Structure 1
Amino acid sequence: MDRLYLPRTDRSPLVELDVDSHRLRIEGESYPEDAAAFFGPILAWLDAYLGQCRPTPPDSPIVMDVRLLYFNSSSAKALMNVFQRLESTARAGVEIDVNWHYHLDDETMMEFGEDFSEDFESVRFNLCASETELA
Structure 2
Amino acid sequence: MMWKFEIPATARTPAVTFDFAENHLKLAGESYPEDVTEFYKPVFEALDTYLARLGKASCRFDIELIYLNSSSAKAIMMLMDKLDAAAANGASIEVFWSYDREDDTMQELGEEFGEDLVNAKFHLEKMAE
TM-score (norm 2): 0.96
Q: Find the aligned partners of 1:124 and 1:85 in 2 and give their Cα distance.
A: 13
Structure 2 stretches lacking a partner, 5+ long: none
Kindly indicate whether residue 29 of structure 2 is the aligned counterpart of residue 28 of structure 1.
yes
Report the AA paired with residue 46 of structure 1: L
Q: Find the aligned partners of 1:42 and 1:131 in 2 and give their Cα distance.
A: 26
Aligned residue pairs, count: 128
Structure 1 stretches lacking a partner, 5+ long: none
Q: Which residue of 2 aligns with 1:65?
A: 62
Q: RMSD over aligned Cα, in angstroms?
A: 0.8
Q: Find the aligned partners of 1:45 and 1:122 in 2 and give their Cα distance.
A: 21
Q: Of Structure 1 and Structure 2, which has the larger fraction of its residues in helix?
A: 2
Percent of aligned positions that are identical: 39
Match of 2:109 among 109, 112, 120: 112
Report the AA paired with residue 116 of structure 1: F
Kindly indicate whether residue 38 of structure 2 is the aligned counterpart of residue 37 of structure 1.
yes
Q: Name segments (4+ residues, structure 1) moved above 2 Å.
A: none
Q: In the TM superposition, what is the alpha-carbon distance from 1:130 to its structure 2 partner? A: 2.9
Kindly indicate whether residue 25 of structure 2 is the aligned counterpart of residue 18 of structure 1.
no
Q: In the TM superposition, what is the alpha-carbon distance from 1:131 to its structure 2 partner? A: 4.6
